[in-house]
Structure formats: C-alpha cells, structure tokens
Amino acid sequence: MTNTPTTTTTLKLVAVSAGLSVPSSSRLLADRLGDAVRSTLAGEAKDVEVRVVELRELAVPIANHLVTGFPSPDLGEAIEAVVEADGLIVVTPVFAASYSGLFKSFFDLIEPDALTGKPVLIGATGGTARHSLVLEHALRPLFAYLRAVVAPTAVFAASEDWGGTGDALTDTLPTRISRAGEQFARLLETTERRPADEVPVLSFP
C-alpha cells in the first residue's frame, strides 16, 4: 500500500546566475542547487520547475534600464519571472570581496518590496574558500534588506570544491548542496504567497 497523493503541484523556481564565463561555475552551482531542491521534493509528489536567468545575457539591458528607468522586453520578462517565482536560487561570483556589480545591478532594478517573504537560497563561487564569508556579509544582508527569507545554509563553491580527494570528510560540496536543498525545500513549503493589491487604499479629506 502506498499513500502517495494523486495530485502533483508544481513549484516554480527561478535560478539567477551572475557567472560571466560560458560555462560558468556559478551556473554549475545554481544547477546543482536546483537539482537538490528537486530531489528533496520529488518524494512528496511536488514537481519543481527551475527557470535559469543568466545575467550575462542581460548585461546591456540591465545597464540600459539603469539609464532609462524601464526594462527592455527580455529584461522585463526576467524581472517578472523573479518577482512571480515561488522561490529564488541566486548565485554570484565573488568580485572584489563582494557580489559582482552585475548581480547587484540586477537586484537594484527590482522594486524594493517585490521580494518580501520570498524564499531565497544564496550561493557564491570564487577561486578560493577564503571568500566564502561573502555569503554572510554581502548576500544575506542584501536579501534581508529586500525582506526575503534566506535559507540558513548558503553554499560557497571554491575552485577546489569541483575536484576532490574521494574523502567524504574533506569533499564537502555535495553535502552542503544537499543540506541547502533540503532546508530550502522546507522553506518553500512553509511560505505563503500573498496576492498584490491592485487598487490602492486611500482616504480623501
């Protein structure tokens, strides 16, 4: 006897990757995090759809939006996907001790309250693990400011993490990815989306 529910719900996630090379390790990490969320929720009859937004492809539209104040159609569509998503996976390379300028510029273009309550899984990549606290001193405060709900485990992947010695004690990336995926999946289940008010509530004297 199985008690698997007969209906399947689909969670829509958006993975934002600010990696600049093609292929990039930021994209690689974003994909692995998406897979981890998917496999956690697969056992609970929940489909996970991950749409990837590669900021590299939007670099010029992002700069143009900063100048003109409105997005080009492709950027507008990406912003809408991020705002409408059930949760976000965001990964940036570390540049000069912080997130990349492109990563920050993209989130600068999102309305300050549009991500309120949104579950976010943060990740970063860099040449050395010495940068890993960027997640805690740059990314986490950024999403705290945006009133998003950030998963407790954030994942940093240094170049060395992509290889390994075959020793599970020192090869921690897969463990950290699956822990982050599980926590994020729990967060998605407990977060309710609120519909936006269309008509503003005002009183006229």
Residue closer to another protein (CB basis): 1 or 199: 199
Instruction: Decide if 123 contacts 135 (C-beta within 8 A).
Output: yes
Distance CA 172, CA 158 (A): 11
Within 13 Å of residue 142, how many CA atoms lie on the same side as its CB? 22
Residue closer to another protein (CB basis): 116 or 128: 116
Phi, psi of 69 (to 5 degrees): 90, 0
| Size of site (CB under 8 A) for another protein | 16
Q: What is the largest CA-CA distance in the chain?
A: 72
The neighbour count for residue 201, using CB atoms within 10 Å, is 5
- Least Å from the CB of residue 113 to another protein: 14
Q: Does 195 bind another protein (CB under 8 A)?
A: no
Instruction: Decide if 130 contacts 153 (C-beta within 8 A).
Output: no
Phi-psi category of residue 147: left, alpha or beta, with phi > 0 → left and psi -120 to 50 → alpha: left
- What residues from 57 to 116 belong to the interface with another protein (CB under 8 A)? 63-64, 66-70, 72-73, 76
Count the helices and strands in the chain (H runs, E runs). Answer: 7, 7
Residue closer to another protein (CB basis): 63 or 168: 63
Q: Does 43 bind another protein (CB under 8 A)?
A: no
Helix (H) or strand (E) holding 59: helix 59-68
Residue with structure tokens 């503003």?
A: 200
Residue closer to another protein (CB basis): 73 or 195: 73
Distance CA 31, CA 14 (A): 11
- What residues from 138 to 157 belong to the interface with another protein (CB under 8 A)? none
Residue closer to another protein (CB basis): 3 or 203: 203
CA-nearest of 129, 151, 127 to 139 is 151
- Least Å from the CB of residue 75 to another protein: 11
Residue closer to another protein (CB basis): 61 or 93: 61
Q: Does 205 bind another protein (CB under 8 A)?
A: yes
Among 2, 163, 190, 204, binds another protein (CB under 8 A): 204
Task: Pick the piece of the chain touching another protein (CB under 8 A) from 33-41, 116-124, 126-134, 193-201.
Answer: 193-201
- Least Å from the CB of residue 199 to another protein: 7
Binding site for another protein (CB under 8 A): 63-64, 66-70, 72-73, 76, 198-200, 202, 204-205
